[in-house]
Structures are given as C-alpha cells and as structure tokens.
Amino acid sequence: MKSFSLHIATPERLVLSQEVVSVSIPTKDGQITVLPGHIPLITNVVNGEIVAKTAHDVLPMGVLGGFAKITQDGVTILADFAEHVHEMSEDVVQKAQAKAAELAAMKETLSKEDFEHFEAELERSLMRVKVASKWKNMDAAVAKYNQSKQ
C-alpha cells in the first residue's frame, strides 16, 4: 500500500511523525482527505479533528487552528495545539467539560484581555469534549469513518 509521511508539530512538541496512507484535515472550506501523491498544497487548518489512517490503524486527533503543507512525499501540519484521542482520557474530558461550562458562565463578567485568554481555553475544552465523545466507542467510530470515505 502506498504511503506518505505525516508530521504534526505544535510549538510545544512533535505530536506525530509516522507513515500513513491517508489523512483527513479540517480546513476553512471543509474537510480534505489527502492520499499519497497529492499535488503541493498549502492550506489553513481550523479547529476540529484530524484522522490519519495507517495500514492497520486509524489515528484520530483533535486539533486547534494552524497550517498544512502538503507535497507529494509528505504532509506537515503546524497546529497551535494537537492531541491524540487516547491522550484524552475520561478524566481529562470530564475536566474539560466542567471547565467549558465554567468559562461559558464567566463570559459575561470578563474584561476583554481576560476574555481572549479564556476563549482559547474554552476552544480547547470544547474541542476535547467533541472529539473525545465522538471517538469514545473506537470500533463503531472507525467503521463510520471508513463508510463515509467509501
């Protein structure tokens, strides 16, 4: 099976560096799925989920904003923040949920600067909740993903 290298880097760490056969990226104009041999493309990435497929495995990840550089030999994604779904344990998700609720309640009372700070936090929490709950039941979610790609 043809494959290409996928690197996902955030300012804080290299989240993923692996050979994959396809990857779906959320962009401003909708989701794109990259297969080996894609023409060179540079696009922005919006908040959502990146789904990479290796020969045997599906790797779902949550992502917050960034860029993707796609060439024939590989894809590099520069994200502000990215996280594997398996890193989002039950605990983390629950905390994120609580945090999101708390932040939403605080929205009214915050000053502009504080709000900007918390908005990023809120986005992160919401992304975690959304992506983690979708992929909670891994097998079913993988089946659904495969179906949508056929």
Partner 1 sequence: MSGTKELKRRIKSIKNTKKITKAMELVAASKMRRAVATTVASRNYAVAAWQVLNAIKDLDSVDHPFLNTSDPKNVLTIVITSNRGLCGAYNTQVIKKVIGYSKQESSEVAQKYIVVGKKGSAASQRMKLDVVASFTDLPETISLRDIKPIAQFIIDEFKSGSYDHVQVAYTDFVSALAQKPRLKQLLPLEVSELRSSIESLDPHDHSIETDTREYIFEPQASELLPELVEKLITMELYQFFLESSASEQSARMMAMRNANESATEMIADLTLVFNKARQANITKEISEISAGMASVE
- Chain positions 38 to 57 lying near partner 1, rule: CB under 8 A, are 39-44
Q: Which window, 5-13, 49-57, 103-111, 130-138, contacts partner 1 (CB under 8 A)? A: 5-13
68 Cβ contact partners less than 8 Å away, ≥ 6 residues apart: 25, 27, 41, 42, 43, 44, 45, 75, 76, 77, 78
Confirm or reject binding of residue 28 to partner 1 (CB under 8 A): yes
Nearer to partner 1, 111 or 147 (CB): 111
User: Cα separation of 144 and 24, whole Å?
Assistant: 14
Four-residue CA torsion sign, 97, 102, 105, 106: negative
Nearer to partner 1, 58 or 61 (CB): 61
Confirm or reject binding of residue 106 to partner 1 (CB under 8 A): no
Q: How far is the CB of 95 from partner 1 (least distance, A)?
A: 16
At 51, list the tokens: 């789904």
Burial 45-71 (b: 16+ CB within 10 A, else e): bbbbbbbbbbeeebbbbbbbbbebebe
At 111, list the tokens: 């000053």
Nearer to partner 1, 11 or 105 (CB): 11
Confirm or reject binding of residue 71 to partner 1 (CB under 8 A): yes
Confirm or reject binding of residue 112 to partner 1 (CB under 8 A): no
Interacting residues with partner 1 (CB under 8 A):
7, 9-14, 27-29, 39-44, 66-67, 69, 71, 76, 78, 80, 113, 116-117, 120-121
